[in-house]
Amino acid sequence: MQILIYGFGNPGRQDDGLGIALTERLADWVSDNQITGVEFDHNYQLNIEDAAAIAQKDLVIFADASDEDIEGFCLSQVDDSTKVSFTTHAASPGYVLQLCKELFQKEPLVLLLHIKGYEWALQEGLSEQARENLDQATSYMQSLLVDPINTINPKEGLKLC
């Protein structure tokens, strides 16, 4: 299984950097534990070019900060109509998936990891509560990456929104 974990957000806006912080933590952990088949990317926003990157994967997990009424973190399945409500990102995960389907005739399983954030000021550094949510999300994702097939199928293993 080929997996891409893609964090997006702005680390210069406090908790908006949660997705990028997750990818950095997981990349170190995957390297230390010699897990294969997992790639990482991150950026301030998703771009139309990301459709080519996800076309080569079986599973894509986009990670982003959220101001939704959720407890810590959760996953949602992305389809080509999915919109992200709390961002000013140029392209939503759903739009990137739609382009992937249209341009490359590929449809990987795409999930969005929502990590609860609280502070959005123009300064670096995560809030304490957001760091706790990041710790929980990181631990969950580590378990998922150890056994992605059994965690994803059946979907009862997923912490869905």
pLDDT digits 0-9 by tens, 109-154 = 999 999 999 999 999 999 999 999 999 999 999 999 998 887 776 5
**CATH number of 114's domain:** 3.40.50.1450
- Residue 141 belongs to what domain range? 3-157
What stretches of 83-127 show up as alpha helix (H) in DSSP?
Answer: 93-104
| The pLDDT value given to residue 55 | 98
Q: Order of strands, edge to edge, in the sheet holding 73-77?
A: 38-43, 3-8, 59-66, 109-116, 73-77
What residue type is 37 in one-letter code?
A: G
Phi, psi of 120 (to 5 degrees): -130, 20
What stretches in the chain show pLDDT beneath 70? Answer: 81-90, 153-157
What integer pLDDT is reported at residue 85 of this predicted model?
39
**Cα–Cα distance for residue pair 37/70, rounded to 1 Å:** 30
* pTM, rounded to two decimals: 0.91
Residue 133 to residue 33: CA distance in whole angstroms: 23
- pLDDT for res 151: 75
Query: Which pLDDT belongs to residue 79?
Result: 84
How much of the chain, in percent, has pLDDT values that exceed 70? Answer: 91
CB 132 within 8 A of CB 114: no
Question: Looking at the 3D structure of the chain, how many domains does it have?
Answer: 1
- Of 141, 104, 153, 152, which Cα lies nearest the Cα of 28? 141
Give dist(CA 105, CA 100) in Å, integer.
Answer: 7
pLDDT at 149: 81
